[in-house]
Structure 1
Amino acid sequence: MDTRDQIIVALDCDDRAGAERIVGQLGEECRFYKVGLELLTAAGPDFVTFLVAQGKEVFLDLKLFEIPNSVAGAVRAAGTLGVSMVTVHGMGGLGIMTAAVEAARAFPGLRILALTVVTSMTDEDLTDIGIGGSAAEQVLRLARLAGKAGCHGLIASPQDVAALRSALGADPLIVTPGVTLPGDSPAEHARPGTPRAAIAAGASHIVVGRTVTRAPDPAAAFRLVRAGLSR
């Protein structure tokens, strides 16, 4: 896989103008973007259509956690927009994830990814909401459930990737947010890692945000991330 196809840039912007500016600065360097709840709420689905029309792949990070019928409807809407990936919350259980997978069958290019444990959560956070065991144990538990539901892949922290590959093999996509270059702040991520470490452990894709989008030269920062994957 071309390293450019492994890097997803998170457009965590609060308006369309800022997001378009980053896309323009990155130009042909970046092929894959993440659109999350903030940008989708601010700019609407037309921005997703804008990216797809430019030939970009879109990871629509909705973290769907609703009744199965509503989840299926949201997945169909995402497929109609032309996105490549959409997320569903693993903690929603087998019914929700299965509904998402079934709805995606009408869109051959759409992959359903199950969020395991949000990268900002710690073992203590899980205890607070009544979940016993560690974050690492919960990640594996939900990953196996996602596989049973037929999900195409997982969202997990860089620190979870090696255990997931060992347990699940080579087939599932593993997309890792919470990656930062050495020396960068991990921000709100409790279980971070470097892009190179994530890919070396078996991640299929990494999600980079501020490392690229807040750099003085986003294209140069993207090339630095990409170069790190090739070493």
Structure 2
Amino acid sequence: MSNNPIYLALDVPRLDAAEALARKVAGHIGGIKLGLEFFCAHGHHGVHELHKLGLPIFLDLKLHDIPNTVAAAMQAIHVLEPAIVTVHAAGGRAMMEDAKAAAGENCKVVAVTVLTSLDDDDLTAIGVQSDPAEQALRLADLAHSAGLDGIVCSGHEVGAVHKQWKDGYFVVPGLRPDSGNGNGDQKRIVTPRQARDNGASVLVIGRPISRAEDPLAAARAIEGTL
């Protein structure tokens, strides 16, 4: 994989626009993150098209189902040769173990802990009494014991998780540079530099690049802070 930790989140509805944006900033990112919106709109064909840019592909599918179904889904995407795939840690140990066993040899499987759109009140509403940091650490322990490569967590939690899982692979979304970008639906955010300093392996950045007036300049500026 590239030494550049920035993965551009390409959750845009049009394939041609996604390709054009990725091509424009390709020299200043380390990979491409494709989420549910992109995958549901463009499927395997869209992933194959973006593979042509020669950058690692992160399939952020957040798989969460019974172990057999998740394992079958992992096998179904072998042909796409993803560098990273996400599953939900809340699916439990057996699901995560089966997901990792079914993944491609060069594919990192990472578990989503607490979505960066959730805060304390949101967790309470779904019956989780822990705060986001406590819940992230608990699920990180579970993912580690299940043999996964790492987790997805916010920049607020990655430092603590890194201390207890020294060789883990940590994906951090919800990042906003100090450039006046709105937070959107993210509630627990840090800057890319802060996340990297705290132990992040991958920095997922979408709107600060994709919705910038000059995406190339925005990507170059973020890269320059790392």
- Alignment partner, residue 114 of structure 2: 117
Q: Which moved more, 1:57-66 or 1:10-19?
A: 10-19
Could you tell me how far apart the structure 1 residues matched to 2:95 and 2:219 are? 35
> Does the C-alpha gap of structure 1 residues 7 and 224 become closer, same or farther in structure 2, counting only changes over 3 Å?
same
Picking from 173, 177, 184, the partner of 1:177 is 173
Which is worse superposed, 43-52 or 198-207?
A: 43-52
Specify the alignment match of 1:56 in structure 2.
Answer: 55
User: Which residue type is aligned with residue 148 of structure 2?
Assistant: C
Which residue identity lines up with residue 123 of structure 1 in the other structure? D
Contact 1:49–1:82 at 8 Å: present in 2 too? no
Residue by residue, what CA displacement relative to the aligned partner does 1:143-183 show, whole Å, maximum 9, x if unpaired? 000001101011000111111112222x1110100001113
| Percent of pairs with identical residues | 40
Partner-residue secondary structure (3-state), 1:159: coil
How many angstroms does 1:74 deviate by?
A: 1.2
Query: 1:166-207 deviations in whole A, cap 9, x for unaligned?
Result: 2222x1110100001113222111110000000011111100
- Out of 21-30 and 49-58, give the one that drifted further: 21-30
Residue 225 of structure 2 aligns to a residue in which SS? Answer: helix
Q: TM (normalized to structure 1)?
A: 0.93
6-15 or 71-80: which moved more?
71-80
**Where do residues 63-142 of structure 1 align in structure 2 (5 Å cutoff)?**
63-104=62-103, 107-142=104-139
Counterpart residue identity of residue 155, structure 2: P
Is contact 1:119-1:157 (8 Å) kept? yes
Change (3 A) 1:27 1:165: closer
Say which SS state the counterpart of residue 72 (structure 1) adopts.
helix
Map residues 148-159 of structure 1 onto 2, 5 A cutoff. Answer: 148-159=145-156
Matches within 5 A, 1:207-222: 207-222=204-219
Cα deviation for residue 119 of structure 1 reads: 0.3
What is the CA–CA distance in structure 1 between the aligned matches of 2:161 and 2:117, rounded to whole Å?
A: 18
Q: Which one has the bigger helix percentage?
A: 1
Report how far residue 69 of structure 1 moved: 1.0
Provide the rounded CA distance (Å) in 2 between the counterparts of 1:2 and 1:71: 28
Kindly indicate whether the alpha-carbon contact (under 8 Å) linking 2:2 and 2:31 is maintained by their aligned counterparts in 1: no
Q: Any residues of structure 2 matched to 1:22-41 within 5 Å, and which? A: 22-41=21-40
Aligned equivalents of 1:86, 1:27: Cα separation in 2:
21
Q: Which amino acid aligns with 1:146?
A: A
Distance 1:186 1:11 in 2: 17
Cα–Cα, structure 1 residues 2 and 67, in superposed 2: closer, same or farther, change >3 Å? Answer: closer
| 1:18 has 2:17 as partner | yes
| Aligned residues of 2:23 and 2:53 also touching (Cα < 8 A) | no
Q: Who is 2:141 aligned against?
A: 144
The runs of 5 or more residues in structure 2 that have no matched partner are none
Please give the per-residue CA displacement for 1:114-164, whole angstroms capped at 9, x wherever unaligned.
Answer: 000000001111111111111110000000000011010110001111111
- Structure 2 residue aligned with 1:190: 187
Asked if 2 retains the 8 angstrom alpha-carbon contact of 1:100 and 1:112, the reply is yes
Structure 1 position 56, deviation (Å): 1.3
Residue type of the alignment partner of 2:23: G
TM (norm. structure 2) is 0.95
